[in-house]
Amino acid sequence: MCGIAGFVNGAEGNEFAGRVLGRMMETLRHRGPDDSGVYQDEVISLGHRRLSIIDLAGGHQPMSNEDGTLWVIYNGEIFNHAALRPELERAGHRYRTNSDTETILHAWEQYGPDCVLRFRGMFAFAIWDARGRTLFCARDRLGIKPFYYVWRDGWFGFASEIKALLEHPRVSPALNESALGEHLAFGYTSDEGTLFAGVRKLMPGHHLLLRLDGERTEPKIARYWDIPAPGAGGGPGASARQDEDWIAECRQRVEETVRMRLMSDVPLGMFLSGGVDSSVIAALMKRMVSGPVVTFSVGYRESEYSELDYARRVARWIGSEHREVVLGRDEFFNALPRLIWHEDEPITWPSSVSLYFVSRLASEHVKVVLTGEGSDELFAGYSRYRFHGWNSRWARRYGVLPAAFRKRIRQWIAGSSLLGAGTRRKLGHTFLGCGGSLESLYLDNFYCAFSPAAQQELLTSGAGAPAYANFRRYFDAGDGSLLERLLYADQKTYLVELLMKQDQMSMATSIESRVPLLDHPLVEFAARLPGEMKLRGATGKYIFKKAAEGLVPREILYRRKMGFPTPLRSWLREAAAAPLFDLLRAPDGLLAAYVDRRALENLIGRHQSGAEDATDRIWRLLNLQLWGEIFLTGRREKMETGLMAGARVP
């Protein structure tokens, strides 16, 4: 895993470009503390920070081809690079190293842009063709590795992290107001935009070609792969296959992808949450490696929010060398400014903080970890899929009643003194307390912190683009079942942001994380599965759990999903949280320019009094305010002195 950055040179000359590139590379040092390198000519500057994993001696970058006309900088791993090498050698390409980086170069020479179709792995790379004066950039199919860029007035720059781009004088940090609505709703932007004005991301499964041999025209961006769309079907005979055949193929594919991701010339370990996915991968690792398997877990001092007992049980079952870290309230909040700087944008989920601390623990022992991300989005592991299906069926029947009657019922549920707060909350999530649309039944219900209606009350100015437009676009992309369309939309939005959290929090501690369950052939297999093989009755991830039987204890496979909760709700009701609310009220903060003060005070008051659980909304606003302090106002150092107890996070 590495950090990459580059840009088209201006008129200032190579000495100036070299200084700027040096600052960009220093910003990415955490992504590659082992080595660094640059390439410059009269047109372009390329920089690389290396975390050495494969071919420790021979993998220095930027790397050139045999005659020095092509140069590549690359972040990621091509897990099938050794299988691709013989064909490339037969075609006449001469290897000087054993690194996967060189395979990218030779594959580009041989196949052009179609080279990406041959790679199995996670990657973001840029290839400069000095002879043809073209820059080719690509990002892996699922978006496991990041790639950000700026195109402005004929100038192009790119980097693994936004903060590196901000080191270039042509890029100034400013809020992208058009993204504010989606961010307040979901905590992220799911199109090519970011929360920074003018900074875009190359979307998963896309590549970019920029020609610099004459008049500079806008980069040509093309999609080279996509998850099979809803309604694509399972192919001939899919409906006639027996359950046992599907389950056996699932087991074989999972074993294959885990085995591929054990490729490493350095020690590797496993993040073990005690949930199904990480437990299954850890158990397979134990069967596949000759030495010990090292597992790492994180939990909270508040035991009801901790899954450490489950992780310990799995570790004993498979016989791993197990290590863990336990977090408290002050450690959690004091880490936020530093972690927002690492994540570039406001932190979406509190579990990012936990991930950072377990990554820091792992970095003391290994350089590579495997993780369990992706299974829930592939195989319908979240309870919201089942609950939304039930809600939708009843909503269609309930919809025959007059709209005025249904509105009165919703109002009565929301405000009735005859119902307890818990009952009101539960009924509010059903078809009785929601409207009948996808937006109300699914997005408002399970995703959204601030619905569009809530944003109107909160904001003093418009929130830009419609908050749900991107999700709706993906949901409407096919004509499959409701479950298939929900999964596809989640894979194109929610999952991509999860992967960014995984990348940035692990790289913050200079370790590489690998996600075996997102090997693209496994993703394509999951898309072909009949819905009942994913969600059967009340059992989500049905096929994955059946395929894993015998690997881990049955009580782990079929236990209720916790989803890595945090004690955030109770922490935000404690008196010690006062500095956090003071930060929200800061008259010179980002929120002051966009948020109605009375609406904010009302939200805080209702939460502190217990009248309403506003945890998600307060968390969203707190992170947005901190992001503004760190990137827009220049008060990063002040924030990093500690939000709670004054202890700075190393």
Phi, psi angle pair for 611, to nearest 5°? -70, -25
- Are 110 and 57 within 8 A, CB to CB? no
Q: In what order do the strands lie in the sheet with 2-8?
A: 35-40, 44-50, 2-8, 155-159, 148-152, 200-201
According to DSSP, the residues that pair with 321 across neighbouring strands are: 294
- Are 148 and 158 within 8 A, CB to CB? yes
What is the C-alpha separation between 30 and 507, in angstroms, rounded?
A: 7
- 434 counts as catalytic: no
Hey, how many other C-beta atoms are within 10 angstroms of the C-beta on 453? 10
Burial grade of 66 (CB within 10 A; 0-12, 13-18, 19 or more): middle
CA distances from 370 to 200, 215, 604 (A): 28, 45, 39
Q: Which residues contact 636 (CB under 8 A, 6 or more apart)?
A: 337, 341, 629, 630
CA 271 from centroid of its chain's CA atoms: 16
Q: Which residues contact 317 (CB under 8 A, 6 or more apart)?
A: 283, 552, 553
CA 638 from centroid of its chain's CA atoms: 28
Q: What type of residue sits at position 336?
A: L
Catalytic residue among 2, 115, 434, 448: 2
Hey, how many other C-beta atoms are within 10 angstroms of the C-beta on 418? 7
Closest CA to 84 of 69, 52, 68, 106: 106
The residues annotated as belonging to the active site are 2
